[in-house]
Amino acid sequence: MATLSSSLLSSSPICKSRFSPTNLVSGIDFISFSPRTTLSVVSPAILSISVKQQNRQRNSLQVKSVASPTETASEFDEMVSGTKRKYYMLGGKGGVGKTSCAASLAVRFANNGHPTLVVSTDPAHSLSDSFAQDLTGGMLVPVEGPESPLFALEINPEKAREEFRSASQMNGGSGMKDFMDGMGLGMLVEQLGELKLGELLDTPPPGLDEAIAISKVIQFLESPEYNMFTRIVFDTAPTGHTLRLLSLPDFLDASIGKILKLRQKITSATSAIKSVFGKEDNRPDAADKLERLRERMVKVRELFRDTESTEFVIVTIPTVMAVSESSRLSASLKKESVPVKRLVVNQILPPSSSDCKFCSIKRKDQMRALDMIREDSELSGLTLMEAPLVDMEIRGVPALRFLGDIVWK
């Protein structure tokens, strides 16, 4: 394989010429964003095709022409319809284009009447890069350009985790330990320590940051000033994190539940003693904070499984490795009862009319991966949405709009 690829590279026109539409495609669209920027793709009719439909047309990846609006409702019509709030979680293997697809979907929603919020819970944020705008800081930032309000938010996992940590440090330090020891209740404090939540937060498992980040978003969305958002798009962390995230709320819910029970015991013991000495303290303490956090975690779990309002969109690229990982992701999501209906296959090379040997071999390889999707028991039931490989990096609202109009049909 290595020999094949190196011989391909050495003979490939791609090494000699720019990867441009002229050596790739026929029927090119050129879209200008600025006097210096031009993005191009081959076909204006890159479409949503049901994989089931494609099964009938094996061996010839004929992309169906666009159905006229009077024929059938398009995929995007379904996604955009209704003013009830909907959540779209985009996830998949690292680097396949999750952020570009999430950002382009958010722009498309905002251009179709939905006040939209796009959130990155991926610890390796690239939403700022995608919008070519600084979105760091953990607060909602308005994005200029779309017709309806579009806001973006990059959650700072470190900061969110710190808040969680301060809420969960329940043993009150050595003072509390001494006090409880004196009362013969030292065991309770030790049990709290044994839950090792602090340790968990020092070396967080994949998924913890994301669970905290999503719960943070839910916290934002609970406040009245965020009521206006009718579409929320999540750019999630790569597959492994997502899978851990799905089981994390249960785990955290149980841990926090235990802590709260112990806390309850300690509180009632100490307040009974303090009240004897006339010093009862009724201030809301960390237990209340923790209880609220636990409730949000339960909401995260419910949100992921709510077929009415949530959809997880898998993003992949046409390679054997990415397709295999997507298949495993789909199976895990199904097992966890997370609704999945659509699969975006990104970076598809257009049929080449040129003599670019590298491109035609690469495209054949991609067609094999698309065949794999059609034959895969997990993926073949999903609606396939194809996104072309464009010849420039997709950055900024005009470029995202361009991509969104092609992918989200």
Ligand X SMILES: Nc1ncnc2c1ncn2[C@@H]1O[C@H](COP(=O)(O)OP(=O)(O)OP(=O)(O)O)[C@@H](O)[C@H]1O
- Judged by beta carbon, residue 151 or residue 234, the one nearer ligand X is 234
- Distance, CA of 237 to CA of 127 (rounded, Å): 12
374-403 binders of ligand X (CB under 6 A):
387, 389-390, 393-394
Closest distance of CB 129 from ligand X, Å:
7
Residue 377 token pair: 């028991």
Q: Is 303 exposed, middle or buried (0-12, 13-18, 19+ CB in 10 A)?
A: buried
Q: Give yes or no for a contact between 167 and 284, defined as CB atoms under 8 angstroms apart.
A: no
- Distance, CA of 127 to CA of 154 (rounded, Å): 7
Contacts by 283-286, CB closer than 8 A, 24 or more apart: 286/166, 286/167, 286/168, 286/169, 286/170
Q: Is 230 in the site for ligand X (CB under 6 A)?
A: no
Task: DSSP for 374-390, please give it.
Answer: HH-TTTTTSEEEEEEPP
Q: Is 98 in the site for ligand X (CB under 6 A)?
A: yes
The CB density around residue 22, as the number of other CB atoms within 10 Å, is 11
Q: Is 15 in the site for ligand X (CB under 6 A)?
A: no
Closest distance of CB 127 from ligand X, Å:
9
- Judged by beta carbon, residue 340 or residue 345, the one nearer ligand X is 345
Closest distance of CB 138 from ligand X, Å:
18
The CB density around residue 2, as the number of other CB atoms within 10 Å, is 6
Choose the catalytic residue: 29, 77, 122, 178: 122
99-138 binders of ligand X (CB under 6 A):
99-100, 122, 124, 126
- Judged by beta carbon, residue 95 or residue 142, the one nearer ligand X is 95
- Judged by beta carbon, residue 338 or residue 387, the one nearer ligand X is 387
x/- letters, 323..362, toward ligand X (CB under 6 A): -----------------------xx---------------
Closest distance of CB 236 from ligand X, Å:
9
- Judged by beta carbon, residue 39 or residue 167, the one nearer ligand X is 39
355 catalytic? Reply is no
Q: Give yes or no for a contact between 295 and 176, defined as CB atoms under 8 angstroms apart.
A: no
Token look-up 């995608």 returns 130
Q: Is 209 in the site for ligand X (CB under 6 A)?
A: no
Residue 1 token pair: 């394989």
Q: Is 242 in the site for ligand X (CB under 6 A)?
A: no
- Distance, CA of 155 to CA of 361 (rounded, Å): 41
Q: Is 44 in the site for ligand X (CB under 6 A)?
A: no
Binding residues vs ligand X (CB under 6 A): 94-100, 122, 124, 126, 238, 346-347, 387, 389-390, 393-394
**Residues forming the active site:** 122
